[in-house]
Amino acid sequence: MGSTVTKQEISDQLKTQRAFFATGATQSHAFRLSMLTFLRQAIEQHEEEIYDALKKDLNKSRLDTFTTEIGFVYGEISRMERTIRRMMTPRRIATPLLHFGSKSQLIHEPYGAVLVIAPWNYPFQLALSPVVGAIAAGNTITLKPSELTPNVSRVIASIFEKAFHSRFAVVVEGDSKVSEALLKEKFDYIFFTGSTRVGQIVLEAAAKHLTPVTLELGGKSPTIVHKDANLRLAAKRIAWGKWINAGQTCIAPDYLFVHESVREEFLGMLEEEAFKQYGNGVGVSSYVRIVNESHFDRLTSYLEDGEVLFGGKTEREALKIAPTVLTDVEAHSAVMQEEIFGPILPVLAYREIEEVIEFVNERDKPLALYLFTENEAIEKQVMRRISFGGGCVNDTIMHVAQHNLPFGGVGASGMGSYHGKYSFETFSHKKGIVKTTTSFDLPFRYMRSDANGKLMRYLLKG
Ligand code: NAD
């Protein structure tokens, strides 16, 4: 459905999906499996268009597009194909003595009509990974990709048209107005990826219908380099994680805390590693561009918030900003208050790890946190004392690619999680059933005597 879609069309479309869901057709293993196969085949048929669209929308290279977008989705599809049958089979659950004569079952039931709203920064992967989970769990799907990457949005719409009947899954293209119209409808589940600000709007809209949600939001992800870290490796892995996609990654290191005793040495290495991996950025043909002028202007204004240690080059016409490190930043400056979401990395120094813990804990809970240290006591301290979505020790970003782990935020960085089996769980209602025998009926639950009270006390205490 195109960006001129009307409220009535949205409403009618949802009715059609509801009617289809009510037939039970989406629930069989064969249906789920064939929808995943159709999706993979349609992606394969559109691969060239996907490369082309990401080049146009973000200047993304073929390699980056495969590794961070298409390959990721293929992986999610294959893992679901292998595991859906096991995940969807009702599970026998142990039954306590109190329920003598009963059996217990856990049934994963699809919610029904699911709405997925996606952002622009990994516009293919972040739209389709949740869709894979929603299909595997047996739901119908309405997907709204980001309007800021219109070429990718178009290809995703073509893929859906090729793979699915619209009574099962449909793409609704458009901007925030279209999103608002979708949110007025009563969906059975909403999966939103985007900013914390819009996440609040989504949650408010969902509350009106008591629709459950997953919110994959953003925030400022701290990166800590302790004095005993392997500095060369830390520099290499931080440079990679910060400047991939020109810093437009929800879990990119947002700001850096480096121990004062290794600050000079580490920042020298970071400059070398940034240059090795991304050159000066601006003139490099494969370097990702900033998505649009308004984000470019927002980002370049941060350059006033500190001293440029390296980088700082900008090119408005090409929408490119070089990998940049800022020092001498104040905690109250915009670059330290807002999510940066671009290739600028402010650096702070610290003496005691306690200062870092306090600083992070005074702010919203981050989506990710990265700690570089060889000291397990420091590692334990940071992991126990700071609440954040997920992260890495001695690495950046890689936790998102570990599909056996749940991915998601906490507090202002989001609620709920997904990837692999966690996606299946996210898009399923967990229905608990106790089936009681009719061959006999133990009398004690109906009895009001003291002796029975004692027995009940014993059984209920477990
Ligand atoms: P955004 O919140 O501006 O937009 C996300 C989606 O919401 C888009 O499809 C957009 O059309 C829609 N939208 C915008 N305004 C709306 C409104 N008023 N009502 C309803 N829908 C509306 O986010 P963005 O700029 O596309 O993406 C960047 C943000 O997303 C960053 O904060 C980033 O950290 C976050 N993000 C989070 C993850 C994650 O997995 N946690 C992944 C990628 C991006």
Structure letter (DSSP) for residue 138 = T
Backbone angles phi, psi at 447, to 5 degrees: -85, 140
- What are the chain's domains? 7-217+413-430 (3.40.605.10), 222-405 (3.40.309.10)
**Distance (Å) of CA 319 to CA 271, 300, 301, 315:** 22, 11, 14, 6
Q: Say yes or no to pLDDT of 4 above 80.
A: no
Q: How far is the CA of 195 from the centre of ligand 1 (A)?
A: 4
Expressed in angstroms, the distance from the first to the final Cα of the chain is 55
Band of pLDDT at residue 191, cut at 50, 70 and 90: very high
Give the lowest-confidence range in 2-11, 35-44, 382-391.
2-11
Say what the pTM is: 0.96
**Tokens 């507090």 sit on residue:** 411
Print burial letters for 98-109: b (CB count within 10 Å at least 16), e (below 16). eeeeeeeeeebe
DSSP state of 227: T
Percent of the chain exceeding pLDDT 70 equals 99
In the predicted model, is pLDDT for residue 172 greater than 90?
yes
Residue 446: per-residue pLDDT:
86
Please report the atom of ligand 1 found closest to the CA of residue 148. Answer: 26
Tell me the CA–centroid distance for residue 211 and ligand 1, in Å: 19
Residue of the nearest CA to atom 17 in ligand 1?
176
Q: State pLDDT tens for residues 307-342.
A: 999 999 999 999 999 999 999 999 999 999 999 999
**Banded model confidence at residue 57, pLDDT cuts 50, 70, 90:** very high
Using the predicted structure, report yes or no on whether residue 167 has a pLDDT greater than 80. Answer: yes
Residue 5 pLDDT greater than 90, yes or no: no
C-alpha 121/C-alpha 285 separation (Å) is 19
Burial pattern 120-140, b for ≥16 Cβ within 10 A else e, equals bbbbbbbbbbbbbbbbbbbbb
What is the CB-side half-sphere exposure of residue 282 using CA atoms within 13 A?
Answer: 11
Q: Identify the pLDDT of residue 445.
A: 81
- Closest atom of ligand 1 to 407 CA is 40
Identify which of 402, 399, 358 has the alpha carbon closest to the alpha carbon of residue 381: 358
Q: Which of 3, 152, 195 to mutate to test the pocket of ligand 1 (most atoms within 8 A of CB)?
A: 195
Q: Which atom of ligand 1 is nearest to the CA of 119?
A: 26
Tens digits of per-residue pLDDT, 339-372? 999 999 999 999 999 999 999 999 999 999 999 9
Distance 213 CA to ligand 1 centre (A): 15
Cα 177 to ligand 1 centroid, rounded to whole Å: 13
Just list the catalytic residues. Answer: 216, 250
Taking the CA atoms of 299, 304, 305 and 306 in sequence, report the sign of the dihedral they define. Answer: positive
Q: What does the pLDDT look like over 204-254, one tens digit per residue?
A: 999 999 999 999 999 999 999 999 999 999 999 999 999 999 999 999 999
Quote the CA–CA distance of 2 and 156 in Å, as a whole number. Answer: 12
Confidence band of 442 (pLDDT split at 50, 70, 90)? confident
Which residue, judged by its Cα, is nearest atom 42 of ligand 1? 250
| pLDDT tens, position by position, 100-115 | 999 999 999 999 999 9
Q: What is the mean pLDDT of residues 167-181?
A: 96
User: How far is the C-alpha of 382 from the C-alpha of 371, rounded, in Å?
Assistant: 8
DSSP for 165-187?
Answer: -TTTEEE----HHHHHHHHHS--
* Residue from 76, 121, 422 to probe ligand 1 pocket by mutation (most atoms less than 8 Å from CB): 121
Q: Which atom of ligand 1 is nearest to the CA of 144?
A: 9
Q: What is the mean pLDDT of residues 439-453?
A: 83
Residues 6+ positions from 117 with CB-CB distance below 8 Å? 144, 179, 182, 190, 191, 192, 193, 194, 202
Alpha-carbon torsion 106, 107, 110, 112, what sign?
negative
CA of 118 to the centre of ligand 1 (A): 7
At residue 72, does pLDDT exceed 80? yes
Number of Cβ atoms within 10 Å of the Cβ of 385:
14
Q: Which protein residue's CA is at the shortest distance from atom 34 of ligand 1?
A: 218
Mean pLDDT for 437-448 is 88
Q: What is the largest CA-CA distance in the chain?
A: 86
CB count within 10 Å of CB 433 equals 12
3-state secondary structure of 212: coil
Single-letter residue type at 259? H
Instruction: Tell me the pLDDT band of 2, cut-offs 50, 70 and 90.
Output: low
Task: Give the pocket of ligand 1 (CB within 6 Å).
Answer: 117-121, 126, 144, 146-147, 175-176, 179-180, 183, 193-195, 198, 201, 216-218, 250, 339, 341, 367, 409, 414
pLDDT at res. 316: 95
Q: Which two tokens stand for residue 47?
A: 């691969």
In ligand 1, the atom with minimum distance to the C-alpha of 389 is 41
Per DSSP (E only), the strands in 287-396 are 307-310, 314-315, 320-321, 324-327, 344-350, 368-372, 390-393
Average model confidence (pLDDT) across the chain: 96
- Residue 3 is predicted with a pLDDT of 61
Cα atoms in the 13 Å half-sphere on the side-chain side of 219: 26
